[in-house]
Amino acid sequence: MSVRIIVAKDYDEMSRKAANIIASQIIMKPDSVLGLATGSTPIGTYKELVKKYENKELDFSEITTVNLDEYKGLSREHDQSYYYFMHDNLFDHVNLRKDASFLPDGTKADSEKECAEYEAKVASLGYADLQLLGIGRNGHIGFNEPGDVFVKDTHVVDLTESTIDANKRFFASADDVPKQALSMGIGTIMHAKTVLLLASGKDKAEAIKNSFFGPVTPQCQGSILQFHSNVIVVCDEDAYSLVK
Ligand code: PGA
């Protein structure tokens, strides 16, 4: 087990440190497969990466990306779809090839088939060289919600109340938040050669404590990362505040 925890002063410092780690991955392996994440946490990191690209410090032309998850039922044009988010926050601002980014498609009628095809796609790429993760207040990674098991492959997930509640701020009301998503499984994530997990704010403190300083249990899906051989956590002081 190898978990390195870097505690940043605040969100901006967390974002700069995370961007530097991703930048060094791109510099050391220009044809890396980057596993990417959505949510509010990585937005600052993506801004820093765009800045580095604009300053000609980074070249994305050989990079391939895969994303953790997508809401079921949202079209790619929907401004809360993760496809839209990734284009808006990163893809449209750097020199990634148009055919080099992959996300599960939440609009396919047969979601199970889409999940199997997505898993096969990620596997064919050799899985992520570096997988960026946020973490849910309930310890979820991707949309792997607390439960009795760790699901291995990309699968359809029923979102928990906690997740719907956390994400309703982006929708007109809680009723508009999709109730299901397609998510990489814990096995898909654990195949990544490096995992970079970000957390900011007091409402993530419990998840950080339980994931890295508690028992490994599917009730806190992030805790499986204690078994990964190369995890870097970059969190701010608030997210670290429950660790003694
Ligand atoms: P957030 O979401 O970055 O919007 O807090 C993280 C997550 O739910 O994994």
| pLDDT tens over the chain, length 244 residues | 689 999 999 999 999 999 999 999 999 999 999 999 999 999 999 999 999 999 999 999 999 999 999 999 999 999 999 999 999 999 999 999 999 999 999 999 999 999 999 999 999 999 999 999 999 999 999 999 999 999 999 999 999 998 999 999 999 999 999 999 999 999 999 999 999 999 999 999 999 999 999 999 999 999 999 999 999 999 999 999 999 8
Residue 145 annotated as catalytic: yes
Residue 96 CA to ligand 1 center (angstroms) comes to 24
Task: Give the pTM.
Answer: 0.97
Cα(160)–Cα(140) distance, integer angstroms: 10
Catalytic residue among 67, 129, 140, 210: 140
Is residue 89 annotated as part of the catalytic site, yes or no? no
Q: What is the model's pLDDT at position 179?
A: 96
Q: Give residue 242 CA to ligand 1 midpoint distance, Å.
A: 19
Ligand 1 atom index nearest CA of 163: 8
- CA–CA separation, 88 and 106 (whole Å): 18
- Parallel, antiparallel, or unpaired for β 194-199 and 180-183? unpaired
CB of 44 sitting under 6 A from ligand 1? no
Q: What integer pLDDT is reported at residue 1 of this predicted model?
A: 62
Tell me the CA–centroid distance for residue 103 and ligand 1, in Å: 17
Is residue 60 a contact partner of residue 36, using CB atoms and an 8 Å limit?
Answer: no
Of 105, 114, 119, 145, catalytic: 145
Nearest to 190 by CA among 222, 216, 149, 160: 222
Q: For residue 137, give the ligand 1 atom closest to its CA.
A: 8
Rounded Cα–Cα distance for residues 150 and 145 (Å): 9
CATH fold of 3-236 reads Rossmann fold (3.40.50)
Ligand 1 near 224 CB (within 6 A): no
